[in-house]
């Protein structure tokens, strides 16, 4: 019997394999959520560099948020990562939700990024 961490990593691997098959030319918007914070990165896998990043741990974000673990914080991170990616010249990305369901904080981040100009 597999424990929940092993199942999460299995789902995460399946998601990444599908993304690699779909689009090798676009950067990847990777989302990680913990119990207290949410993080987002735009990664160019071909060059193996991070183009833009945002998280609720940043000093500019901490003052504006009550907690880093709610839908409001995820929406703010989505807007921020979209602005930073567009400033770097990235408008089209592939959304990597990792092993998480597209629900709640992950969905709020994705919708905010789409509203701010990223397309995926």
pTM of the shown model: 0.88
Average pLDDT, the chain: 92
Sheet of 38-44: strands edge to edge? 49-55, 38-44, 28-33, 94-96
Q: What are the domain boundaries of the chain?
A: 4-115
| Residue ranges with strand state E in 36-113 | 38-44, 49-55, 94-96
Q: Under CATH, what is the fold of the domain 4-115? A: Nucleotidyltransferase; domain 5 (3.30.420)
pLDDT score of 22 more than 80: no
Weakest mean pLDDT among 14-28, 30-44, 61-75, 102-116: 14-28
Q: What is the pLDDT of residues 57-113, one digit of tens each?
A: 999 888 888 888 999 999 999 999 999 999 999 999 999 998 899 999 999 999 999
């Amino acid at each position: 019997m597999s424990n929940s961490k092993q199942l999460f990593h299995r789902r995460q691997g399946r998601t990444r394999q599908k993304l690699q098959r779909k689009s090798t030319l676009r950067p990847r918007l990777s989302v990680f959520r913990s119990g207290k914070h949410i993080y987002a990165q735009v990664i160019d896998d071909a060059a193996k560099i991070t183009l833009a990043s945002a998280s609720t741990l940043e000093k500019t974000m901490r003052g504006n948020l009550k907690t880093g673990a709610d839908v409001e914080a995820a929406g703010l991170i989505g807007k921020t990562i979209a602005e930073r990616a567009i400033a770097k010249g990235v408008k089209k990305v592939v959304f990597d939700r990792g092993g998480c369901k597209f629900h709640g904080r992950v969905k709020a981040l994705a919708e905010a990024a789409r509203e701010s100009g990223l397309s995926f």
